[in-house]
Structure 1
Amino acid sequence: MTALRAGRGFALVSPTRIDDELADALTAEGPVKWLIAPNLFHHLHIGEARRRFPKALLLAPRGLAKKRPDLTVDHALEDGLPGELAEHVTHVPLQGADRIREHVLFDRASGTLVATDLVFNVTKPEGLVTKLILSLVGANGCLAQSRSWRLFTSDGARFRESLAAVLELPIRRLVMAHGEVVEEHAHDLLRQALGFAAPPAALTAGVI
């Protein structure tokens, strides 16, 4: 789960289980105004989060309501972000991958990109099964895009255009659902992980 501050409130991206202590800590910092399911896979604890924060708006991709008829989606991510949230967060839909419908979010104040399943960064996988699965998808021990995206993507050209739009953002920090946060050289490392050529300056500086 990632908490993004927007004005006086917060957006929770991919909410996990929230106990009383965490709920109190969050509300002490400001109201939780938005709950975001950033793709069709990360929605397991959205219902629980909504019961915790009943006044929060639920934002999700079109198609989630079919998977989760128990949820009422207040705003489709395909329509952009609602007012106050859009003032602080940039939203990029990953076009051409309708099987997952992922939307990445960029916090302009901190330069943080929230890329839920776009890349993995499990640098120290634990257990043989985890290592095997990560090896099969090409993401064992490094920042990488899972080979599963080949199955998710139906229009490669549109998908690459979306990735190019993501890389136009001034990314300083990278957060994803699976793996460690990237605190340094986030933009160049993401560019490499997505298969885009690194700029000469980055290569010269030994960033990659």
Structure 2
Amino acid sequence: MSNSAQELRKLDEGLWTLDTTFTRLGCKGSLRMTVLETATGLVLHSPVALDKDVRNALRSLGEIAVLFAPNLFHHMYLHAAQDHFPNARVLVPKGLERKIGKIANSEIVTDKTVVADGEIEHATLSGHDLNETVLFHRRSGTLVTADLLYNYQPEHNFTEKLFFRAIGCYGAPGVAFYHRYAIRDKSGIAPFQEAVGSWPVKRIVMCHGRIVEAPEAAGIFTSAWQRFA
């Protein structure tokens, strides 16, 4: 897969996205990487395939400080990103090395992990098989998630619209019904909702679906998860 037709899109001060696609079982899906600027460099949330032009564009923005794998499924391009940016910290969820093998110089994300001191906060949905950690970028007021919220709309391709309508994530932000089968311990949901709800979120950027821009964005996210609590 090539990103040659893709460009970094600036959404806010210190915030960019790169929209691309992936193919699975013969179907094309949308995929998004988020770039967060901090005083110590750039954080690449869920790295995607990066061609030379995109890598140069990223370097023109600043040093790549962190490669962030948000959960146990968003890792397809992590090793390639390490090859491109060997000096970056690599933050991964617990259990990822058991799934894909050794990840050189990686750090497992915990509650005590500092992604970017005073600039990025994080919360992990414990007791869930995804083991996903979301990020909150204070400068831009942006919550970044991979798979904990979807928002598919008319601009997406037919196959995606069909699938995400079937799982209840078409036309408005929503949580796929199948998450209930991945929850091993519901006690982790309430503190996770509390953490996200405490942040002044004005935007949600997810890896799949239309970005949510709303002053009540934190409430949209926590309310979507309420039925699983």
- TM interval, short-chain normalised: 0.7 to 0.9
Question: C-alpha separation between the residues in 1 aligned to 2:192 and 2:70?
Answer: 15
Matched with 2:3 is none
Aligned length: 193
Residue from 182, 186, 206 that aligns with 1:156: 186
- Give the CA deviation at 1:79: 4.9
Q: Does 1:105 align with 2:135?
A: yes
Matched with 2:62 is 30
Matched with 2:49 is 17
- Give the CA deviation at 1:70: 4.2
Aligned pair in 2 of structure 1 residues 66, 73: CA closer, same or farther (>3 Å)? farther
Letter in 2 for 1:34: V
Partner of 1:135, secondary structure, is helix
- Conserved? CA contact 1:11–1:34, under 8 Å: yes
* Aligned-residue CA RMSD (Å): 1.7
Matched with 1:54 is 86
Letter in 1 for 2:65: K
Q: Does 1:192 align with 2:223?
A: yes
- Conserved? CA contact 2:196–2:218, under 8 Å: no
Q: Gaps (5+ residues) in structure 1?
A: 197-208
More helix by share: 1
Per-residue CA distance 1:122-176 (angstroms, 9 max, x = gap): 122421x323321332112221011121122111122232122211211111100
Matched with 2:73 is 41
Residue from 34, 43, 46 that aligns with 1:2: 34
Equivalent positions of 1:134-149 (< 5 A) are 134-149=164-179
- Give the CA deviation at 1:75: 1.1
Question: C-alpha separation between the residues in 2 aligned to 1:86 and 1:92?
Answer: 14
Q: Does 1:166 align with 2:184?
A: no
Letter in 2 for 1:173: R
Which deviates more from structure 2 when the two are superposed, residues 14-23 or residues 67-76?
Answer: 67-76
Per-residue CA distance 1:47-98 (angstroms, 9 max, x = gap): 1111110101110011001111142252111253336x1331001111221x
Question: C-alpha separation between the residues in 2 aligned to 1:190 and 1:17?
Answer: 28
Per-residue CA distance 1:83-114 (angstroms, 9 max, x = gap): 6x1331001111221x1100010001111000
| TM-score, length basis structure 2 | 0.79
- Conserved? CA contact 2:142–2:204, under 8 Å: yes
Matched with 2:160 is 130
